[in-house]
Amino acid sequence: MERKTANVIVIALGLSFLFAGACSTSPPPPDESEIQKRTAEALKRFDDMKFGMFIHWGLYAIPAGEWKGKYVRGIGEWIMFREKIPVAEYEKLAEQFNPVKFSGDEWAQLAQDAGMRYMVITSKHHDGFAMFHSKASPYNIVDATPYGKDPMKELSAACARRGIAFGFYYSQDQDWHEPNARGNTWDFPEERNPEIYLRNKVFPQVEEILSNYGKLALIWFDTPGILSEAQVTELRDLVKRLQPDCLLNSRIGHGKGDYIQTGDNAIPIQVYTKDGKWEVPATLNDTWGYKKNDHHWKDPRDLIGKLADIVSKGGNYLLNVGPTAEGVIPKPSQDILRTMGKWLEANGESIYGASPSPFYFPDITWRATVKPGKLYLHILNWPGKKFRFEGLESEVKRAYFLANGDEVPFRRDGAALIFDLPAQPVDPYDTVLVLELADETPRVADGYRAGQLPDRMDLYAWAARLRGEEIRYDFDTLSATNFVPAEQFANELWWYPYGALDGEYEVELTYACDNAEAGGTLRLATGGRRTPRKSGIEWKVSATGGKFVTRKLPGKITVDPKTGMIILGIDGEQSSGIRVRKITLIRQTV
């Protein structure tokens, strides 16, 4: 009896010391002021990064855009939803998932080669399948697949070795595998109790990804939907308690995010700083999750131009790859990203850590970024041997090309600078012209400053989102075409004002149309993804003999600070081959 008592005492003392040790190494949760301070510091680091890799990887890579021999239109990771695949049937994909060619080092190295400073990967998408080892749900890559390993451990470690910040995507609201989450109405009743789903799956899994994969730069939440403000607040508090430096995007919902997430592939039309830091999630082709028949790879010229465009407006660029079910990032994706990386090797000074443009952008010739004492002009569309740049009041001490250091002659002409350029661009994608200034911060003339938009504003097709699987952009003519009709995901141009425009506008259209294709109906409307479109202008397309002309459209459109999009499309096949270069908005004054 005495020996047993002594053993109990020893065990009790050991446990007490163990508990005391655990307490001493687990600091209390930070207070809100400390969280705000650390969040601000994390936002500064995030802003400096500018360019990141998004990865959509999951069971949907097995059907790869086809179900039972049928091509499924739309983005690959939504195939379960589009085809209303029963949970019991979709679950069987896990039995086939065996990504034996996956290499965390190869993926992280590709991100580094591309000049990407952070990475975000899907830990759980809307299909509900966890791509990490989760004790909260057996529906995960370790317990439900022949692969039987946790690739996120390998990938997070590979990123850490290269200094690449690491983060997870997590679908907190939509989960088509769960009866109390949003989305699956073909297997489950309409009634939902999200509290059950949150307690049993979301909170435990979010705690797992915060606890088991090292320091996270961010958690990229998606589509808050049916969650209440109190539930979202609790989710935010969970993240900040475990990792106060971990950022949250605005798609956590109810204004609880640390930075603004734009719509998918949605770039603001002008400099956008009034709502703080923001990020554009975008794709290398038409899909996010892998689709074997999607070969619509974007031109590196377009993507490098978009990177400069986004950074010049104040944002970050999160560019997606969709690996195969074997764990391979498609070669075209790799080639494109490494091309971007080579451009950044020579021109990264103008991107990383740069501030947005102090100028508004009148067209698509150039974009601008800033560092103390320097203005970087990104010349995206070569203007020829003379480049006239308006509105800079600061004295320019020196001008040179960033890529090769060659001096660029210039002279001042009133409020303008005129640069003598070579006949061909130094870089085929984006030639960066550096102006060394006498001022730390550029002084900009009144009427040229960001936000001071003129009464005539050009919205070019290049600056729009090309929405749809068939629409294409042509750099030779600077125009979009192939507006073929589709029941879902119509081929349209979407421009995103993000508060830049306010008023009633007449509209001019610059376009070309072969005579045989005239007669279709062009429509211009305003609205949002989930709000009804407000009818704006309908116009019967007239022939131009295939030449580009500018014509005034009948009627007007109204755009206010809450307008989500300006949308241009063609009804029917007739005139779907129209080539649209730009629309010009002409503000109406009282």
Segments of 294-430 assigned E as strands: 315-321, 366-371, 374-379, 386-390, 396-401, 410-413, 416-420
Structural tokens at position 268: 């603001």
Please tell me the distance from the alpha carbon of residue 232 to that of residue 226, in angstroms, as a whole number. 10
Task: Give the residue ranges of the chain where pLDDT is below 70.
Answer: 1-28, 530, 590
The residues pairing with 508 across neighbouring beta strands, listed in sequence order, are 552, 584
Please tell me the distance from the alpha carbon of residue 433 to that of residue 350, in angstroms, as a whole number. 10
Q: Are strands 557-559 and 118-124 parallel, antiparallel or unpaired?
A: unpaired
Burial zone of 423 (CB within 10 Å; 0-12 exposed, 13-18 middle, 19+ buried): exposed
Taking residue 170's Cβ as centre, other Cβ atoms within 10 Å add up to 21
Q: Are 197 and 147 in contact (CB under 8 A)?
A: no
Please tell me the distance from the alpha carbon of residue 387 to that of residue 463, in angstroms, as a whole number. 21
The residues pairing with 355 across neighbouring beta strands, listed in sequence order, are 370
Res 590: pLDDT: 63
Angular region, 293: left φ>0, alpha ψ -120 to 50, beta rest: alpha
Res 30: pLDDT: 85
The kind and range of the H/E element at 433 are strand 431-437
> What letters, b where the CB count within 10 A reaches 16 and e where it falls short, cover 524-562?
bbbbeeeeeeeebbebebebbeeebeeeebeebbebeee
The residues pairing with 324 across neighbouring beta strands, listed in sequence order, are none
Q: Are 354 and 361 in contact (CB under 8 A)?
A: no
Going edge to edge, which strands form the sheet with 396-401?
366-371, 374-379, 431-437, 396-401
What separation in angstroms does the CA of 128 have from each of 125, 131, 197, 420?
Answer: 6, 9, 11, 57
Res 463: pLDDT: 98
Instruction: Flag whether the pTM goes above 0.85.
Output: yes
Ordered structural domains, the chain, with CATH: 34-350 (3.20.20.80), 366-437 (2.60.40.1180), 456-587 (2.60.120.260)
Please tell me the distance from the alpha carbon of residue 272 to that of residue 276, in angstroms, as a whole number. 8
Q: Are 471 and 288 in contact (CB under 8 A)?
A: no
Q: What is the pLDDT of residues 518-550, one digit of tens each?
A: 999 999 999 877 677 887 899 999 999 999 999
Q: Are 210 and 156 in contact (CB under 8 A)?
A: no
